């Protein structure tokens, strides 16, 4: 039987709003996070093979690229956390007013950068 459900309209036909930016970024960061978590699973599994096989991974993680990837991942996680909290608040029936959705969207965008810095400082024991 043919599926008569309508598909989601293509994103380029709409004028961009804060909410649409947060929504598409939520999906993109979700995909990035699951790919990264899969790589982390491989990283953890490789620990079984001992220290001799860890040199290359250690070299990569200590390079500028490695640091950039971890910092980017901290931002991607921060964005997901804040965006997911926004979703949960909206699921409870709050914050649907147009102006409020703009404000909460901006909180997610700017808050994700602040949270990334905070995560880095806590992770590195600076605070």
State the nearest-atom distance from the C-beta of 86 to another protein, in Å: 11
Do residues 76 and 36 make contact, with C-beta atoms less than 8 angstroms apart? yes
Q: Does 117 bind another protein (CB under 8 A)?
A: no
Please list every residue from 65 through 104 that binds another protein, using CB under 8 A. 66-67, 70, 73-74, 77-78, 80-81, 84-85, 87-88, 91
Q: Is 37 in the site for another protein (CB under 8 A)?
A: yes
Total residues contacting another protein by CB under 8 A comes to: 43
Which residue in the block uniquely carries the two structure tokens 């690229």? 65
**Residue with Cβ nearer another protein (7 or 13):** 7
CA 24 to CA 109: how far, in whole Å? 12
Rounded to whole angstroms, the Cα distance separating 120 from 70 reads: 10
**Closest distance to another protein from the beta carbon of 99 (Å):** 25
- Min dist CB 4 to another protein, Å, is 10
Given the structure tokens 């649409």, which residue do they identify?
A: 20
> What gap in Å lies between CA 116 and CA 72, rounded to an integer?
9
Q: How far is the CB of 47 from another protein (least distance, A)?
A: 6
17 makes contact with another protein (CB under 8 A): no
- How much is the CA Rg of the chain, to the nearest whole Å? 19
């Amino acid at each position: 039987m043919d599926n008569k459900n309508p598909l989601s309209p293509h994103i380029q036909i709409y004028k961009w709003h804060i909410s649409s930016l947060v929504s598409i970024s939520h999906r993109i960061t979700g995909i990035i996070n699951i790919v990264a978590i899969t790589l982390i699973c491989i990283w953890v599994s490789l620990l079984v093979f001992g220290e001799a096989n860890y040199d290359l991974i250690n070299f990569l993680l200590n390079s500028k690229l490695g640091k950039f990837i971890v910092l980017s991942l901290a931002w991607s996680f921060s964005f997901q956390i804040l965006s997911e909290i926004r979703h949960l608040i909206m699921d409870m029936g709050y914050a649907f007013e147009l102006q409020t959705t703009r404000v909460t969207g901006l909180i997610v965008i700017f808050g994700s950068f602040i949270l990334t810095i905070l995560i880095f400082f806590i992770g590195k024991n600076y605070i």
